[in-house]
Amino acid sequence: MLRFDHEFLPQRVCLASGQAPLILAREVERLGGTRVMVIASPSELKRADRVTADLPVMYHHRDVVMHVPVELAERARAAATEHRVNLLVSVGGGSATGLAKAVALTSGLPIVAVPTTYAGSEATTMWGLTHGNRKTTGVDARVLPRAVVYDAELTLSLPVALSVASGLNALAHGVDSMWGPRADTLDQMMAQEGIRALTAALPDIVSDPMNLTARERALYGAYVSAAAFCSAGSGLHHKICHVLGGAYNLPHAQTHAIMLPYVLAFNGNAAPEAEARIAAALASTSALEGLQELRSRLGVPCALGDYGFNERDIGDAVDRILPVLPAGNPRPINADDLRRLLTAAWQGADPRTIMDDSTKGTENKS
Ligand code: NAD
């Protein structure tokens, strides 16, 4: 029986390459932005200055750090109050968007996001803040950017390795949407389309980073995957990655890129419909094989151990992840399973080693 109860996001999404300054000015005016705070890290400065040149900017906030340390959020909130800001513009990856969200969370200020990676934070009501080495995440409608301005020209400078890792972070939104706690058929439809678009775009970006069409398709895939993820809620993959990122300061996109095949191997056979949709989107007969083939074409990071995660952290990570495991994961998961998942990801082992033993043989075929 087909049944759903789906809520679409109240957000305007624009994609027009080369048009960001124009469209951003239009959206800021539409939203009544007369005192704007621009959030962009020093490495995004040139891009940010170019797209925000015609805006009524009161303050430029440059202090942007991944996973939004709470002290930094407090400083940005104080700056917004001090400069009597009435709209936030973020230009950059998920870290810049995340800081804007932290300000919006306590102030209710509207955000217009200009994303320059495929992180997809702009399409979600989810926020994250890091206190010491503990990342807290939450959901609040106030943090959803009122408008998103995608301009693929701004992503041409994204290095290939980061494009690939960020693209796989986007793809992970699609995969986790298939079995998130609120996943419905509309989420799965969008997630499948997002995975398909990213699967087509990423190899073209690797072979030609200046391919504007591929960059546009990747932004589109990142958006629909993240919108699906926001509606479906965090599944197993994101719960694991959020803990790892916050507790051990691992790079976000690379952590997702490495963890994804392990979670897919763990869940895939317990969720046959999701597995079939992911496989179809990857143009493969098996989701895991399709993902591994794509990863080998892209040349991706393989082991958490290469990014600062130590074997001795595994027990601590298991303890941190267990209390936040999502309800209704397709396959029950316990501390031993988590330990096997993390150990395999730490060393970059073959993901098939953590598949359900009873189904390992069938997945290996073809
Ligand atoms: P990021 O924003 O830190 O960017 C990574 C690096 O790429 C930075 O050094 C940045 O300066 C550089 N960069 C960005 N755009 C560039 C461009 N066009 N050209 C050249 N360099 C560029 O990393 P990210 O992976 O985009 O985002 C990660 C953060 O976003 C994490 O904190 C994560 O938790 C958060 N996130 C949140 C959500 C959500 O829904 N709340 C979703 C995804 C990610």
Identify whether residues 114 and 167 lie together within a single domain.
Answer: no
Q: Are 306 and 168 in a shared domain? A: yes
- Residue 250, CA distances (Å) to 244, 287, 325 in order: 6, 26, 19
Residue nearest to atom 20 of ligand 1 (CA): 158
d(C-alpha 231, C-alpha 216), whole Å: 23
Q: Which amino acid is at 23?
A: I
Q: Print the domain residue range for 77.
A: 12-155
**Which of 117, 129, 156 is the best mutation target for the ligand 1 pocket, counting ligand atoms within 8 Å of the beta carbon and taking the most?**
117
- The answer as to whether 106 is a domain residue is yes
Is 320 within a domain?
Answer: yes
Whose tokens are 């691992």? That residue is 250
> Total structural domains in the chain?
2
Closest CA to 145 of 116, 117, 112: 112
| pTM for the full predicted model | 0.94
CA separation for the pair 91, 145 (Å, rounded): 12
For ligand 1, whether the C-beta of 135 sits within 6 Å is no
* Whether residue 147 sits in one domain with residue 233: no
Q: Is the CB of 27 under 6 A from ligand 1?
A: no
**Cα–Cα distance measured from residue 59 to residue 79, given in angstroms and rounded to the nearest whole number:** 8
Domain boundary among 155, 184, 210: 155
Question: What's the 341 CA to ligand 1 centre distance in angstroms?
Answer: 25
Q: Helix axis angle, 160-177 relative to 185-207, nearest 10°?
A: 160
Note the pLDDT of residue 358. 53
- Residues 141 and 200 placed together within one structural domain of the fold: no
- The answer to whether residue 235 sits within a structural domain is yes
| Alpha carbon distance 178, 232 (integer Å) | 8
Domain match, 271 and 145 both: no
In the listed set 155, 189, 214, which residue is the last one of a domain according to the structure? 155
pLDDT for the residue numbered 134: 82
**Could you read off the pLDDT tens digit of each residue along the chain, which spans 366 residues?**
899 999 999 999 999 999 999 999 999 999 999 999 999 999 999 999 999 999 999 999 999 998 899 999 999 999 999 999 999 999 999 999 999 999 999 999 999 999 999 999 999 999 999 998 888 889 999 999 999 999 999 999 999 999 999 999 999 999 999 999 999 999 999 999 999 999 999 999 999 999 999 999 999 999 999 999 999 999 999 999 999 988 998 998 999 999 999 999 999 999 999 999 999 999 999 999 999 999 999 998 899 999 999 999 999 999 999 999 998 899 999 999 999 999 999 999 999 988 865 555 444 332
Does the Cβ of 163 fall within 6 Å of ligand 1? no
Q: Does the CA dihedral 278-280-281-285 come out positive or negative?
A: positive
**96 plus 25 within the same structural domain:** yes
In terms of C-beta distances under 8 Å and separation of at least 24 residues, what long-range contacts does 52-56 make, across chains too?
Answer: 52/21, 52/24, 52/89, 52/91, 53/21, 54/21, 54/25, 55/24, 55/25, 55/28, 55/89, 56/28
Considering the domain boundaries, does residue 304 fall inside one? yes
Domain assignment present for residue 6? The answer is no
Q: 119 CB under 6 A from ligand 1?
A: yes
Same domain, 117 and 227: no
Residue 359 domain-assigned? no
**Whether 255 and 303 share a structural domain:** yes
CB 234 near ligand 1, within 6 Å: no
Any domain includes 357: no
